[in-house]
Chains A and B, each alone.
Chain A
Amino acid sequence: MTGFRIVANVTELPTTTFGHRSPMWWGTIGFIVIEGSTLFICAISYFYLRRNFLNWPPEGVFRPALTVATVQAALMVLSNIPMAMVDRAARRLDLRAVRVGMVVCTLLALVMCVLRALEFEALNVRWDSNAYGTVAWAVLTAHATLLLLETLESLVFTALLFSPNLEQRDLAGASDNALYWYFLTLVWIPLYAIVFLSPYVM
């Protein structure tokens, strides 16, 4: 066995880091890439299958209704404000602000889940009606799955914030959660444009 010659000491290094200094942040980026790819694939498929149709949506299918989806899109964008506040509070290690912010955001996520259920209704087409319906549902479902997972995660995390076992480094989790939230809500904007707006222009 090779021996060691001590050349430095790392005792003073911090144990809680935020952003790209934290491995979990990179892990989150990794999952964002994976899930972003999945959504991208759904979007690609959407345009690929578009080529097989004369009209889009095909004749006999109504265009999607816009109201709910537009409210949802707006909500998604705006929800970034409280989430950014959570993010900043976490970096300040301001537990109280993080708690309040996470409660607000979790409620918002629940509202989004409800809106998502209504958005399926608003598509005006079933998944098994034709390939248009299929791929529109696919985009929506793929994002809905992520939304659902994020909602559950936020719920658990919020509960954790009130747990006696909370540790300081868990606050880094709030920051990572915020990162994922930015992705989840902002990626919806192009997807919203594809599923709900593009049938009006293609």
Chain B
Amino acid sequence: MSSPSRSGCRRRRELLAAVLLAAALSACQREDRRFRTWPPAASAIPAVRQSELQPGPTTRDLTVRNEYGDNAWAVSEGKRLYNQFNCSGCHFQGGGGIGPPLMDSQWIYGSQPENIFATIVEGRPNGMPSFRGKLGNDQVWKLVAYVRSMSGLLAKDVASGRNDDMQVRSQEQSTEKARPVQSAVPPASQRP
């Protein structure tokens, strides 16, 4: 018979081991640089739910896990693409301008990776262009990861530091998480 204290001790040891293992794995995941592989849900994602309201009993959707959301290199690639493909031209460094802000908690078309993926690929009616066919899915997923990091939705050790550019906002890795709020109303002008 093992004494409770002993088993407690072992459990604690197991817990410690699990924590260490998790830390180790997260380090691997964070630092990985796979140049040729594609994230799992890369090619096709199913139709994305845009509304909270569902007819009939509520079902939980399987959300797509964007592996790039745990990968610092992919997030920084996303940041580079964000600036290169002129996302920054409308959304700037997250404060918005022509397009809505991306560093705040307001999400018009959803904050989940698949929502953002759909927004980039499909475009949105109030001025968001559709990048279908212009970007590889791989690039879009990197962008998705970066866009989520802008409002602190990624782990801080994954989000980017400052760029070698003008200081205009606190760096992504120092941005406190803004709990996503689904705002149904596009900020663009409303019809009367």
Q: So, do A and B actually touch in the complex, CB under 8 Å?
A: yes
In chain B, positions 130-174 with a C-beta closer than 8 Å to chain A are: 162, 167, 170-171
Q: How far is the CA of A129 from the CA of B166 in the complex (A)?
A: 9
In the bound assembly, the distance between CA atoms of A130 and B171 in angstroms comes to 13
Report chain B residues within 8 Å CB of A128: 162, 167, 170-171
Within 8 A of B (CB), among A88-131: 128-130
- The interface residues of chain A, by DSSP majority, are classed as loop
Measured between beta carbons, the chain A residues less than 8 angstroms from B171 are: 128
Chain B interface residue count, CB cutoff 8 Å, equals: 4
A-B contact pairs, 6 of them (CB 8 A): A128-B162, A128-B167, A128-B170, A128-B171, A129-B167, A130-B167
CA distance A65 to B167 in the complex (A): 23
Name the distance in Å between B53's Cβ and chain A's nearest Cβ: 43
Instruction: Name the residue of chain A whose CB is nearest to the CB of B170.
Output: A128
Kindly state the interface size class of chain A when it binds its partner: under 10
**A129 to B167 Cα, complex, angstroms:** 6
Chain A residues, Cβ within 8 Å of B167:
128-130
Q: How far is the CA of A128 from the CA of B170 in the complex (A)?
A: 8
- Bound state CA distance, A129 and B162, in angstroms? 11
The 6 A-B residue pairs whose C-beta atoms are closest, nearest first, are A128-B167, A129-B167, A130-B167, A128-B162, A128-B170, A128-B171
Residue among B162, B167, B170, B171 with the highest chain A CB neighbour number at 10 A:
B167
Complex interface: chain A residues within 8 A of B170 (CB): 128
* Shortest distance from the beta carbon of A60 to any chain B beta carbon, whole Å: 12
Can you name the residue of chain B whose Cβ is closest to the Cβ of A126? B167
Name the distance in Å between A140's Cβ and chain B's nearest Cβ: 19
A129: chain B residues at CB < 8 Å are 167
Identify which of residues 97-156 in chain B touch chain A, using a CB-to-CB cut-off of 8 Å: none
CA gap between A16 and B42 in the complex, in Å:
74
Query: Looking across the interface, which residue of chain B has its beta carbon closest to that of A130?
Result: B167
B17-75 interface (Cβ within 8 A of A): none
Min CB gap B127→A, angstroms: 32
Chain A residues within 8 Å of B162, by CB: 128
**In the complex, A129 Cα to B170 Cα: how many Å?**
10
How many Å from the CB of B149 to the closest CB on chain A? 18
Closest approach, in angstroms, between the C-beta of B17 and any C-beta of chain A?
36
Q: In whole angstroms, what is the CA distance A130 to B162 when docked? A: 12
Query: How far apart are the CA atoms of A139 and B167 in the complex, in Å?
Result: 21
Distance of A130 Cα from B167 Cα, bound (Å): 7
Complex: A128 Cα to B171 Cα, angstroms: 10
In the bound complex, how far is the Cα of B175 from the Cα of A128, in angstroms? 14
